[in-house]
Chain A
Amino acid sequence: MTDRPDLDERFAELVRQVAERSTAPAPAAIRRRARRRLAGQGVVAVLLALALVIAGLAVDRGLGAAPAPAGPAAPSTSAPPTSLTPAPSTSAPPTSLLRLPQTVMRPGAPGSGVIASGTSPKGMAWRLKARLAAGRGLCYSLQAAAPGKPVDSGGSGEGCTGPEKDVTVSYGETGGPGNLPAVPEVAVNGVVMGRAAKVDLTLKQQPRDHRSPVAGTVTVRPIHASGFQVGFFVTFIPPDTWVAAVTLYDANGQRICGQLGDDFKTPYLPGATHCT
Chain B
Amino acid sequence: MEHADDFDAFYAATYARLVGQLYAVTGDLAEAEDVVQEAFARAVARWPRIRGYDLPEAWVRRVAVNLARQGLRRTRRRLRLLVRLAPPPPDPGPSVDGLVLAAALRALPSAQRQVLALHHAAGMPVSEIADLLGVPVGTAKARLARGRAALAALLVDPVEVDLRDR
Q: Which chain B residues border A29 with CB–CB below 8 Å?
A: 85-86
Smallest CB-CB A-B distances: 5 pairs: A15-B20, A19-B16, A21-B92, A178-B63, A11-B120
In the complex where A22-B33, A162-B83, A178-B63 touch, is A10 in contact with B42 (Cβ < 8 A)? no
Q: Contact check, A24 vs B16: say whether CB atoms are below 8 A apart.
A: yes
Q: Which chain B residues border A171 with CB–CB below 8 Å?
A: 75
Q: Contact check, B17 vs A181: say whether CB atoms are below 8 A apart.
A: no
Q: Contact check, B78 vs A168: say whether CB atoms are below 8 A apart.
A: yes
Q: Contact check, A11 vs B72: say whether CB atoms are below 8 A apart.
A: no
Q: Which chain A residues border B59 with CB–CB below 8 Å?
A: 179
Provide the bound-state CA to CA distance between A1 and B117, in Å: 19
Beta-carbon contacts under 8 Å, B24-38 to A: 24, 29, 32-33, 37-38
A12 beta carbon closer than 8 Å to chain B: yes
Contact pick for A268, options B12, B45, B70, CB 8 Å: B70
B130 beta carbon closer than 8 Å to chain A: no
Contact pick for A7, options B41, B86, B94, B120, CB 8 Å: B120
Provide the bound-state CA to CA distance between A222 and B75, in Å: 24
B16 → A minimal CB distance (Å) = 4
In the complex where A1-B152, A179-B62, A181-B134 touch, is A25 in contact with B86 (Cβ < 8 A)? yes
Beta-carbon contacts under 8 Å, A29-83 to B: 29-34, 36-38, 40
A207 → B minimal CB distance (Å) = 26
Provide the bound-state CA to CA distance between A70 and B41, in Å: 45
Q: Contact check, A10 vs B37: say whether CB atoms are below 8 A apart.
A: no
Provide the bound-state CA to CA distance between A18 and B33, in Å: 11
- Tell me the B residues contacting A by CB distance below 8 Å: 7-8, 11-12, 15-17, 19-21, 23-24, 29, 32-33, 37-42, 44-45, 59, 62-64, 66-67, 70-72, 75, 78-83, 85-86, 89-90, 92-95, 97-98, 101-102, 116-117, 120-121, 134, 148, 151-152, 155, 157
In the complex where A2-B155, A18-B92 touch, is A34 in contact with B23 (Cβ < 8 A)? no
A191 beta carbon closer than 8 Å to chain B: yes
Q: Contact check, A175 vs B72: say whether CB atoms are below 8 A apart.
A: yes
Provide the bound-state CA to CA distance between A27 and B47, in Å: 13
Q: Contact check, A36 vs B79: say whether CB atoms are below 8 A apart.
A: no
Q: Contact check, A178 vs B19: say whether CB atoms are below 8 A apart.
A: no
Contact pick for B21, options A8, A15, A31, A177, CB 8 Å: A15
Q: Contact check, B78 vs A272: say whether CB atoms are below 8 A apart.
A: yes
Pull 8 A–B residue pairs with CB atoms less than 8 Å apart, ordered by A: A11-B121, A14-B102, A22-B20, A24-B16, A32-B85, A178-B64, A178-B66, A191-B79
In the complex where A21-B93, A173-B75 touch, is A30 in contact with B41 (Cβ < 8 A)? yes
Q: Contact check, B41 vs A11: say whether CB atoms are below 8 A apart.
A: no
Q: Which chain A residues border B19 with CB–CB below 8 Å?
A: 18-19, 22
Given contacts A15-B121, A22-B89, A36-B83, 8 further A-B contacts (CB under 8 A): A7-B148, A10-B155, A17-B20, A23-B86, A31-B41, A175-B70, A178-B38, A268-B75
Provide the bound-state CA to CA distance between A7 and B117, in Å: 10
**Number of A residues with CB within 8 Å of any CB on chain B:** 55
Q: Which chain B residues border A14 with CB–CB below 8 Å?
A: 20, 23-24, 94, 98, 101-102, 121
Q: Which chain A residues border B93 with CB–CB below 8 Å?
A: 21
Provide the bound-state CA to CA distance between A264 and B33, in Å: 29
A209 beta carbon closer than 8 Å to chain B: no
Provide the bound-state CA to CA distance between A201 and B97, in Å: 51
B115 → A minimal CB distance (Å) = 12
A94 → B minimal CB distance (Å) = 33
Provide the bound-state CA to CA distance between A37 and B63, in Å: 15
Most buried by B among A8, A14, A37: A14
A16 beta carbon closer than 8 Å to chain B: yes
A141 beta carbon closer than 8 Å to chain B: no
A132 → B minimal CB distance (Å) = 16
A164 beta carbon closer than 8 Å to chain B: yes
